[in-house]
Amino acid sequence: MITKKYTDSGPGLLKIPVSFETKQMKVLVVSGFLGAGKTTFIKTMAQCSGQDFCILENEYGEVDVDTALLKEETENINVWEMTEGCICCSMKQSFASSLLTISGALDPEYLIVEATGVGLLSNILANISQIEYDRIVLLRPVTIVDAGTYFYYQNKFDTTFQDQIQAAGTILLSKGEHMSVRELEEIRRDLRRMNPAADIVTEPYSEKPFRWWKDLLSAGMDGRKISAPGKESSAGWENIGLRNVRLSSPEELLYLLWEAISGNLGAVVRGKGILPCGKEWLRFDITDSRFSITGTEPSKESSVVFIGMQLKKNQIRRSFQFRISSEQDCDQSDRK
């Protein structure tokens, strides 16, 4: 997300004495056949890396159980469900729009795309690459492989299975704790035959050190470490801007603003926004330890911004509800 410099030249804009660091949204696609352990990997990654993630889930079926598990067991994750469509087939335009919306509205540092287990990874990567630019960058994708069912799925679903292997940057074997070294080595050799360039991990990834997770979350598609975009002098200041947000009631906004001036959301020194709170639209303004709330006319788009130091950005995001949705359905024939 490109960070704006605000001035006091008009209503709804802020005057800030400094400029801010531009941000990238790094997109990591986690692929793997049905039941390979993608959700378990994402939970482990959140715990071991300590990073702030937003997850775009795409599950095959009407009920997404994994979303509930992720929300229950991880605190630093926002989940946007997409059970109505498949991101790798006829939903291409909607999927690209979804990524752009997440970048603009949630402004996460990392977006984890948990792909449906029956999709082509190469199609997903091609779709994302169409909207990739200096503020949205694609990391080397990860494919999770169930060691116990490796040869069965390879023979039964050869096209989809092999595509997920060949398009991966990192391949992780899961559920191999009870397999012999010889069996794991046989799988590793076969994986290397299909993908000579990938990093292949046969040992439990949960035992990997912090540095390994850091490298995984900074490797671009070419394997090189992604460098952050240029920054301007910010003297420790941060900001977070969110769009298409809402709250359930004016009381929720009042509580949120008290949290902000009390230091529970970081050192917030300035904030402003216009958004619907229940049935009415409200405008708020924060200056140091004071805030005000006034009624306002409905707007086409709601937006809020908070400025300060050591902001608890994910806690701020979780305080709001987002008015975002995908519109196109996936052609069921593409899933076969």
Q: What is the DSSP string of 31-73?
A: EESTTS-HHHHHHHHHHHH---EEEEE--SSS--HHHHHHHHH
* CATH code, 299: 3.30.1220.10
The pLDDT > 90 percentage for the chain reads 35
In a domain, 209, yes or no: yes
Range of the domain at 78: 25-216
- Give whole-number Cα distances, 195 to 82, 162, 189, 192, 207, in Å: 30, 9, 10, 5, 24
Boundary-marking domain end, from 154, 182, 216? 216
Are 166 and 286 in the same domain? no
2/14: higher pLDDT: 14
Q: HSE-up of 194 (CA within 13 Å, CB side)?
A: 20
* CATH code, 91: 3.40.50.300
Q: HSE-up of 256 (CA within 13 Å, CB side)?
A: 27
Are 81 and 167 in the same domain? yes
Are 212 and 293 in the same domain? no
Are 83 and 160 in the same domain? yes
Distance from CA of residue 29 to its chain's centroid? Answer: 10
In a domain, 330, yes or no: no
In this prediction, residue 236 carries a pLDDT of: 65
In this prediction, residue 69 carries a pLDDT of: 52
Domain count, the chain: 2
Residues 63-113: pLDDT tens digits? 444 555 545 555 554 554 443 343 333 344 467 777 877 777 777 888 899
* pTM, 2 dp: 0.63
Residue type at position 294 = T
Residues 251-284: pLDDT tens digits? 999 999 999 999 999 988 888 999 999 999 999 9
Are 36 and 168 in the same domain? yes
* Rounded Cα gap, residues 80 and 57, in angstroms: 6
Are 158 and 83 in the same domain? yes
Are 268 and 129 in the same domain? no
Q: HSE-up of 287 (CA within 13 Å, CB side)?
A: 6
Boundary-marking domain end, from 216, 248, 273? 216
In a domain, 254, yes or no: yes
Are 91 and 151 in the same domain? yes
